[in-house]
Structure 1
Amino acid sequence: MLEISDLEVAYGDVGALWGVSLHVDPGTIVALVGANGAGKTTLLRTVSGLLKPKAGDIRLSGQSITGKAPQEIARLGIAHVPEGRGLFRQMTVLENLELGAFQPKARPRTKELLEKAYTLFPRLKERAHQKAGSLSGGEQQMLAIARATMSEPSLLILDEPSLGLSPLVVQQMFALIQTLHGQGVTILLVEQNIHQALKVADYAFVLKTGSLAMQGTGADLIADPEIQKAYMGVLE
């Protein structure tokens, strides 16, 4: 579904990604993990059109989306839940969700998509007329993901969905991600909780200072001593 080839990205004269190639197959969860500053968010922002690459190609379902505007990429089927959630805090839960269905293909089905979102996130239905900024951190993250699903994306990109959440809510968040996966949603996941990310991932890529360092199934990487030592606090 998503194919990234030899991607290079820089902020001015400062390089951020060098020759990164990865793929996301339809119906899978793919995790992108690594230390802070490795380039994970940069890669997601480039896929979504928020950053322009210096070199390389990005393809969605065989069609090049390299350098396209964010709104065009969204129209082609990518929904990006950014780190920090990006909610309209002074608008209600319902208004945020309705904005998620702004795409032409989704707009006529807003009511149906709302009910689908409320089924998956029942707490949001209870808080439909509350302002988004009044929700708890976990509820705000649920709203951000629910809003993204309102466009029925072919690829859902999640950037640090567990950031700032309590351990219990983190467990709930990953259960929701697995539920979405079970419904056939393809997910590209960047996550600080590497153990949880690899547990749910079908496949994973490890970024290290802007380059691809390792790749493999989630199960293989979670058992890898190098990954354990570097990212999970397992000592020799």
Structure 2
Amino acid sequence: MANRLLEVSDLEVAYGDVRALWGVSIHVEAGSVVAIVGANGAGKTTLLRAISGLLPVRRGTIALGGASLAGPAPEAIARMGIAHVPEGRGLFRQMTVLENLELGAFQPKARANMRQALDKAYALFPRLKERAGQKAGSLSGGEQQMLAIARATMSDPKLLILDEPSIGLSPLVVQQMFSLIETLHRQGVTILLVEQNIHQALKIADYAFVLKTGEIAMQGTGAELIADPEIQKAYMGVLEL
């Protein structure tokens, strides 16, 4: 508990009269990778959007380092230390790679350390340095995802939220993407990951939660869940472990 960075308790979110999340509780320890997995429509993206302040909360609490996230606007939540890479990446396609990265350092503290943040981003994603003057929309899908993640790291966030980072990528690029996420983890970045590629997500997760129709159906370490026969049958089929 002393090392708990994010705490979501009894969260309920609705779209009009339709409830999308029912009493969801999750936690993220500082320095860990936590995965939220489940089928399409389970409420995974809804949960992330609620944490980032992009959806109103009907009931429950969300706290980052003990500070409530229930009231502040999304930009205030970003200033508190959350960087959210949405599904679809959210890049400014007509702006260059460098301009997109610079936008990631919009906060005063991040602007003061922009040079160091850029050097760190380019060290992790050297291809982006090669394409610094290229428009974001002209990059490949894998390069665009790299840029979206690199831009999020520019603010040196307390919590990095990744929503479906492997979506639309080739198998080889998916492997590269998960390797990059593991590198960020080794560098001490705390990551909350939503991912449909359940096998890959559980392989790198310290802890994971399974969402099913808006409720937490199972939870445990990544290793525990990947070995669970129910998880294998429901979500992954027969695995070569």
**TM-score by structure 1 length?**
0.99
1:180 aligns with 2:217: no
1:5 aligns with 2:9: yes
Q: 2:78 aligns with which of 74, 77, 81?
A: 74
1:234 is displaced (CA, Å) by 3.0
Of 102, 106, 126, the match for 2:106 = 102
Matches within 5 A, 1:1-236: 1-234=5-238
Give the partner amino acid of 2:85: V
- For 1:88, the aligned partner's letter is F
DSSP-derived class of the 1:21 partner: strand
Give the match's secondary structure for 2:113.
helix
Amino acid of the structure 2 residue aligned with 1:132: A
Residue identity opposite 1:160 in structure 2: E
RMSD: 0.8
Aligned-residue sequence identity (percent) comes to 81
Counterparts of 2:224 and 2:174, CA distance in 1: 23
Question: 1:233 & 1:222 partners in 2: Cα distance?
Answer: 11
| Cα drift, residue 109 of structure 1 | 1.1
**CA-to-partner distance for each residue in 1:169-213, whole Å, 9 max, x for gaps?**
000000000000000000000001000000000000000000000
Aligned-pair CA distance for 1:149: 0.0
Provide, for residues 21-46 of structure 1, a one-character-per-residue CA deviation record: whole Å limited to 9, x for no partner.
01000000000000000000000000
- Can you give the 5+ residue segments of structure 1 that lack an aligned partner in the other structure? none
Contact 1:90–1:132 under 8 Å retained in 2: yes
- SS in structure 1 of the partner of residue 109 of structure 2: coil
Could you tell me how far apart the structure 2 residues matched to 1:179 and 1:120 are? 8
**2 CA distance for matches of 1:53 and 1:28?**
25
The structural deviation recorded for 1:111 is 1.2
For residues 41-76 of structure 1, what are the alpha-carbon distances to aligned partners after superposition, in whole Å with 9 as ceiling and x for unaligned? 000000000001100000000111113200000000
One-letter amino acid of the structure 2 residue matched with residue 69 of structure 1: A
